[in-house]
Chains A and B, each alone.
Chain A
């Protein structure tokens, strides 16, 4: 099974079991690390036998919709609750991916989640890394889950 399919399955499991939303996947592609506009990103670093990152990038309006469903309360601006929720989404995605890449749990270390939010920012692409990005839609909203990874020798 390819990494894109793992991302699809992990994302759909998280959204269906904990957020009660249906995340419909689109066609995987290679993101060009272009500027992310008015968005929020949750990022988990991978270290050890595999280096890289796993990130979820949500436009601000998507993040508000997802956090409202996640917490069961209305959220109207990108505040600490939204940042924390997006970080936790990244954390769960990282954990799911790690369980596939490293079943014993001792070869790959996950960082604590980092969260970036702004009008315009970019997430750099790791050199010589295998990358895949899967777009998703939740109702009329969209988001992306991105994996960049490189096996260490």
Chain B
């Protein structure tokens, strides 16, 4: 059965760029789902089987850190791996993300090779 990734970013442009980078990285997802903020992401995770989440941090409505915290409190989805993909990769922020279960962080700007390296270990 093919794998599914959820891309969470308030920028439509960045969601397209991440999708393209996944293809360029040679990571074969059958389904690419998208969400524009943390609230949408929680709804998508509740309605779909998702193998991995790539999430921005700075987003309106519900930030990436708030999304991680809410996800960690929901037994049905808490074990789905999340990698942060953001301009915000300061040590304090990444430590907080990891305390809520984030499995890694990719800094924007990124290359397909970096995405492959980070996601390869999770899939």
Contact = CB atoms under 8 A, between A and B. Distances in A.
Interface in A102-124: 102-106, 110, 112
Interface residues of A, number: 27
Contacts of A110: 58, 87-88
Interface residues of B, number: 25
A contacts with B: majority SS: helix
Given A81-B13, A87-B11, A91-B58, A103 B109 contact: no
A99 B87 CA distance: 9
A142 interface: no
Contacts of A94: 87
A98 to B, nearest CB: 7
B111 interface: yes
A92 interface: yes
Contact of A104 (B10, B92, B108): B92
B13 A112 contact: no
Nearest to B10: A112
B93 interface: yes
B110 interface: yes
Most buried by A among B88, B90, B109, B111: B109
Interface string B87-122: 111111110000000000001111100000000000
Contacts of B16: 71
Interface of B: 10-14, 16-17, 20, 58-60, 86-94, 107-111
Given A81-B13, A91-B108, A99-B90, 7 more contacts: A17-B109, A72-B20, A102-B90, A103-B90, A105-B91, A106-B93, A110-B87
- Ranked nearest first, the 4 interchain pairs of A and B with the lowest CB-CB distance are A105-B90, A95-B87, A106-B92, A105-B93
Interface of A: 13-14, 17-18, 70-72, 80-81, 84-85, 87-88, 91-92, 94-96, 98-99, 102-106, 110, 112
